[in-house]
Structure formats: structure tokens, C-alpha cells
């Protein structure tokens, strides 16, 4: 998206917002720590496959379940780096889906879990990678996590990586992981580490693929919705068993 359609602020503490829009969609994410508020609004026009969707959510940074982690990771070339900010917090709001061939459905005053993610990265000429994001309720407690692997990993990923688990109001840094899908992206993924803190499978349910190519610039994104099964371990040694926890996987290739 061009700068007229999306502008990502540099600050997390100052009030700010991100807006993306064209004829078929309007999306706004805004945050204001002074007034203790994170809000998300979107209006997406449907087509023959996807329903139209509108939603408005609000979350508060001050609630006890809010957890956040910021990290700066050296890139494979030491003169480059990536900065990540992750904030997990409960949200509340309304979602309306309007399929063309079915009655409109509305979830009003629904509670949920959100994972706010902002990244700034110096990309290599060719960049590839995958990341997994999960969020939901496990044993009555909100849970969210982020796992990634790719060409942007640090030279020493055991020491520097941004993998993290948010559970029971505590952030647990996780070790580097290996992500594999030997039978294709729309079949089961395996996610494991070497320290017995991560042992997951991801089962894809639906995919959205986006390609963009002009001259030497080329991007390809596979965004996949699915569910997680397996075990994650917290820093205190507690094992968290995941059963059908929803989440997203993304596989990307970027050539600048």
C-alpha cells in the first residue's frame, strides 16, 4: 500500500492511528495510552466468496490481563536490525457478517483476545520467512503467542529472537523454532524447538494468497487461518496444553 493509504507511526506511547482504505474497505487501528484505549474499526465489502463485514472493538491497556514485550533483534548483517512491539490485551465489541446468499449475522458485545503487533525491519534484497500467531482461551485463561523463522533471523537466534508466549499476564520469551510443512502449506504444519518449550501442530482451514510483481519488486503472501494443538511451556515450567486454539500462519517472499 502506498503512503497515502497507510501510515505507520513511529511512537507507541503517543496517541496515534493507522488507516488503510480504498473503495472496497476501510480499516483503522488507533491507540491512546493517555486515555487508556486501543480501538479497531473496519468495514469490508464482500464478493461472491466472502461476506461483507463490519466491526468495532475497544480494549484498555490498564486491565490486568494486558502484557507487552518490545525487542530489537540484530539481523544477519550486524549493521541492520528489526524492532518488534507485541501487546496482548482483551477487547470487546461488535462484529456483523452479511453474506450475499444468507441472513445477516451479528455478534454484539462480544469479548475476545487481541494481539497488537508493530514491526520495523531493514529487509534484505531477498527476504523469506514464516510466522505463526495464536490467540484464544486455554484453561479459562487468555493466551496468545508469536513464533517466527526465516532469513531475517539473527546469526545467533538462541540468544536473539522475538518468539514469545503471553499467558496469565506474564510474557515468556521462547527459543528459536523450526517450522515445517512437508506435505504442502494447506496440510499440517509442525513447529518445534530444541529446548522442549514448543511442540505444536497447526492445521490449516482456509487460505488467502496475495501476489504483487512490478519490474524487480515482487511480493507473495500466503495468509492461512487454522487451529493449534500441542504444548507450550512458560518460564516457570508450567506446561500449557492447546486444543483447537485458533490462529494464523503467514508464509512470505519479498524481493526488493
- Predicted pLDDT of residue 11: 79
Whether 174 and 95 share a structural domain: no
Q: Judging by beta carbons within 10 Å of its beta carbon (0-12, 13-18, 19+), is residue 2 exposed, middle or buried?
A: exposed
Among residues 97, 122, 147, which one ends one of the domains?
A: 122
The pLDDT of residue 243 is above 50: yes
Mean pLDDT calculated for residue range 177-203: 95
Residues 34-55: tens digit of each pLDDT: 999 999 999 999 888 889 999 9
**CA–CA distance, 29 with 180 (Å, rounded to integer):** 32
Query: Does residue 116 sit in the same domain as residue 130?
Result: no
8 Å CB contact between 171 and 165: yes
Position 4 pLDDT exceeds 60: no
Q: What would the pLDDT profile of 75-93 be if each residue is shown by its tens digit?
A: 776 677 888 899 999 999 9
Which pLDDT score, from 0 to 100, does residue 78 have?
A: 62
The larger pLDDT score, comparing residue 176 to residue 156, is at 176
Amino acid 255: pLDDT: 79
pLDDT at 77: 67
What pLDDT is attached to residue 1? 47
5 plus 63 within the same structural domain? yes
- Residue 150: predicted pLDDT: 87
Supply the mean pLDDT for the chain.
89
Q: Could you identify the residue written with the cell 526488493?
A: 256
Which residues are CB-neighbours of 107 under 8 A, at least 6 positions away? 94, 95, 96
- State the residue for C-alpha cell 507511526: 9
Residues 77 and 135 in one domain: no
Domain range for 236 is: 123-256
Domain termination residue (choose one: 122, 141, 162)? 122
Q: Given 102, 122, 142, which residue is the final one in a domain? A: 122
Strand partners, 231: 199, 241
Same domain, 63 and 141: no
Mean pLDDT of the region 189-203: 96
Residue 155 and residue 77 share a domain: no
Q: If you average pLDDT over residues 124-142, what whole number do you get? A: 88
Burial class (CB in 10 A: 0-12, 13-18, 19+), 74: middle
Amino acid at each position: 500500500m502506498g503512503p497515502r493509504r497507510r501510515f505507520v507511526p513511529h511512537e507507541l506511547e503517543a496517541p496515534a492511528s493507522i488507516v488503510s482504505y480504498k473503495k472496497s474497505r476501510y480499516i483503522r487501528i488507533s491507540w491512546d495510552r493517555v486515555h487508556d484505549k486501543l480501538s479497531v474499526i473496519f468495514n469490508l465489502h464482500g464478493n461472491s466468496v466472502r461476506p461483507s463485514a463490519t466491526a468495532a472493538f475497544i480494549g484498555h491497556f490498564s486491565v490486568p490481563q494486558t502484557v507487552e514485550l518490545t525487542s530489537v533483534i540484530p539481523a544477519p548483517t550486524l549493521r541492520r536490525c528489526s524492532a518488534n512491539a507485541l501487546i496482548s490485551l482483551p477487547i470487546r465489541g461488535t462484529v456483523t457478517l452479511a453474506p450475499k446468499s444468507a441472513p445477516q449475522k451479528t455478534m454484539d458485545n462480544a469479548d475476545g483476545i487481541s494481539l497488537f503487533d508493530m514491526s520495523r525491519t531493514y529487509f534484505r534484497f531477498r527476504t523469506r520467512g514464516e510466522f505463526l500467531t495464536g490467540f484464544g482461551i486455554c484453561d479459562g485463561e487468555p493466551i496468545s503467542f508469536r513464533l517466527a523463522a526465516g532469513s531475517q533471523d539473527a546469526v545467533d537466534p538462541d540468544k536473539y529472537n522475538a518468539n514469545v508466549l503471553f499467558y496469565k499476564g506474564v510474557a515468556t520469551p521462547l527459543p528459536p523454532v523450526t517450522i515445517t510443512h512437508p506435505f504442502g502449506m494447506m496440510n499440517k504444519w509442525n513447529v518445534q524447538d530444541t529446548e522442549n518449550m514448543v511442540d505444536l501442530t497447526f492445521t490449516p482451514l482456509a487460505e488467502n494468497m496475495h501476489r504483487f510483481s512490478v519490474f524487480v519488486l515482487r511480493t507473495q503472501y500466503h495468509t492461512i487461518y487454522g487451529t493449534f494443538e500441542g504444548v507450550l511451556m512458560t518460564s516457570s515450567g508450567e506446561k500449557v496444553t492447546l486444543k483447537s486454539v485458533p490462529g494464523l500462519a503467514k508464509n512470505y517472499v519479498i524481493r526488493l
